[in-house]
């Protein structure tokens, strides 16, 4: 039986990814305890997973690995209105307001930038080719840390279109290929444009990554605070997406540790251990 609203994430494979999903769940449990939490995982019997998530969904290897799983989140979700959140994220505020503000939309992401003819992009080698190929005038540009969608036919069509583009990806000018294809953002961007779905300008309140940050990343998951300057704007997102190397920094580990029961007793020992084992890039954004 479908539930009305909920959050879903992916947590499978390497232990690191499982631990990040647990951190996300702890932050959700702290700040949005009344919103159902679901996980797609290959650790369906793990006690802590069962304690942190309301719904545990078996990982389907037939969907593929890495980004391909994101393209089938609509098949996994037990909700009629779903907010997908990447596992390398930490929630610092109640996010129920996101569902309220996105009421009536079929599929959307936070963002405001559009790619037009002549623009350059790090995910698409030839933006003009893509626009011409799909008979579009512009493409939404966003980070795929969150996706909102409902159970409508329109949302289903977006997933289906993104999946079909992936099948033909090697004939399209995508860059940053992983083992199983390009990043999912341009696939969903094309599908959104094809089906006339727009981004939601959240003014930095829903989700942001620290990528492009100027100055210090201020975040305290226990106090419910986040604030930093991203490019030219000051943002205070409810969801901080520690994309890329940011999930390997001191700040991420510090906030993740705060959410554990052992934090008051072992924070110094744990932090010292992390510091001793951390790669050089760990210190780059402290």
The whole-number pLDDT of residue 181 equals 75
Name which residue leads in pLDDT, 202 or 265: 202
The whole-number pLDDT of residue 66 equals 73
Q: What is the mean pLDDT of residues 250-278?
A: 72
The whole-number pLDDT of residue 271 equals 60
Tell me the pLDDT tens digit for each residue of 31-77: 999 999 999 999 999 999 999 999 999 999 999 877 789 999 999 99
Q: What is the mean pLDDT of residues 143-169?
A: 96
Tracing tokens 């799909």 back to the chain, one arrives at 134
Least confident of 82-86, 113-117, 260-264: 260-264
Least confident of 152-156, 226-230, 259-263: 259-263
The whole-number pLDDT of residue 282 equals 52
The whole-number pLDDT of residue 175 equals 83
Beta-carbon contacts of 91 under 8 Å, excluding residues fewer than 6 positions away, are 24, 27, 28, 30, 31, 32, 85, 221, 238, 239
The whole-number pLDDT of residue 277 equals 60
Q: Is the pLDDT of residue 18 over 90?
A: yes
Confidence of residue 278 (pLDDT cuts 50, 70, 90): low
**250 within 8 A of 286, measured Cβ to Cβ:** yes
- Do the bridges between strand 113-115 and strand 139-141 make them parallel or antiparallel, or are there none, so unpaired? antiparallel
The whole-number pLDDT of residue 216 equals 94
Q: Is the pLDDT of residue 285 over 60?
A: no
Query: d(Cα 116, Cα 137) in Å, to the nearest integer?
Result: 6
The whole-number pLDDT of residue 3 equals 72
Angle at 83 (CA atoms; ends 82, 86), nearest 5 degrees: 135
Q: What DSSP string runs through 134-191? A: TT-S-EEE--TTEEEEESSHHHHHHHHHHHHHHHTGGGTTB-S-BTTBS-HHHHHHHH
Confidence (pTM): 0.90
* pLDDT, mean over the chain: 91
Six token digits for residue 191: 């599908």
Name which residue leads in pLDDT, 255 or 279: 255
Q: Is the pLDDT of residue 170 over 60?
A: yes
Q: What is the mean pLDDT of residues 92-112?
A: 97
Q: Could you give the 3-state DSSP secondary structure of residue 203?
A: coil
The whole-number pLDDT of residue 275 equals 62
């Amino acid at each position: 039986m479908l539930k009305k609203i909920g959050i879903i994430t992916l947590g499978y494979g390497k232990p690191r990814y499982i631990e990040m999903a647990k951190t996300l769940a702890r932050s959700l449990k702290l700040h949005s305890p009344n919103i159902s939490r679901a996980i797609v995982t290959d650790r369906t019997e793990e006690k802590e997973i069962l304690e942190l998530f309301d719904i545990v969904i078996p990982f389907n290897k037939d969907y593929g690995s890495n980004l391909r799983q994101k393209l089938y989140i609509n098949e996994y979700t037990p909700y009629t209105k779903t907010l997908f959140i990447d596992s390398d994220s930490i929630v610092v505020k109640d996010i129920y307001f996101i569902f309220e503000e996105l009421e009536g939309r079929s599929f959307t992401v936070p963002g405001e930038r559009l790619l037009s003819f002549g623009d350059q992009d790090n995910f698409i080698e030839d933006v003009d080719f893509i626009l011409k190929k799909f008979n579009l005038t512009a493409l939404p540009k966003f980070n795929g840390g969150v996706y909102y969608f409902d159970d409508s036919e329109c949302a289903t069509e977006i997933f289906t279109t993104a999946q079909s583009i992936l099948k033909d990806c090697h004939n399209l000018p995508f860059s940053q290929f992983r083992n199983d294809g390009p990043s999912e953002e341009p696939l969903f961007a094309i599908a959104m444009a094809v089906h006339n779905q727009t981004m939601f300008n959240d003014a930095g309140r829903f989700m942001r990554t620290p990528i492009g940050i100027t100055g210090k990343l201020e975040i305290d998951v226990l106090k419910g605070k986040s604030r930093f300057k991203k490019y030219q704007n000051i943002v205070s997102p409810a969801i901080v997406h520690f994309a890329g190397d940011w999930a390997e920094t001191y700040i991420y580990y510090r906030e993740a540790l705060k959410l554990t029961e052992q934090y008051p007793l072992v924070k110094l020992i744990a932090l010292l251990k992390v510091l001793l084992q951390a790669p050089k890039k760990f210190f780059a954004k402290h």
